[in-house]
């Protein structure tokens, strides 16, 4: 994964929950529908991003460590 993509996904991991929380609050105030579904979907996406980014950072640091040893 490129550094640029990694950085974008890290930002998304912060922004998505904020947007979901905002939508959830506004949905209750204004009577918008699907608030539970939007929040649950955002949570699932953020959890998936967390796993993907953790795996990628693990490989990145493992490669960096191997490069230092050689």
DSSP calls for 36-60: HHHHHHHHHHHHHHHHHHHHHHHHH
54 within 8 A of 28, measured Cβ to Cβ:
no
Model-wide pTM > 0.85? no
Domain that holds residue 31: 3-69
Task: Per residue of the chain (70 residues), give pLDDT as tens.
Answer: 888 999 999 999 999 999 999 999 999 999 999 999 999 999 999 999 999 999 988 887 777 666 777 6
Angle at 7 between CA 25 and CA 70, to 5 degrees: 145
If one counts the domains in the chain, the total is 1
- Among left, alpha and beta (phi > 0; psi -120 to 50; other), residue 33 is beta
Cβ neighbours of residue 52 closer than 8 Å, sequence gap 6 or more: 9
């Amino acid at each position: 994964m490129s550094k640029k993509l990694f950085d974008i996904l890290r930002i998304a991991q912060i922004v998505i929950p904020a947007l979901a929380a905002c939508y959830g609050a506004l949905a209750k105030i204004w009577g918008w529908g699907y608030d539970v579904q939007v929040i649950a979907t955002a949570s699932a996406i953020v959890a998936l991003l967390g796993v993907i980014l953790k795996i990628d950072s693990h490989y990145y640091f493992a490669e960096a460590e191997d490069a230092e040893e050689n």
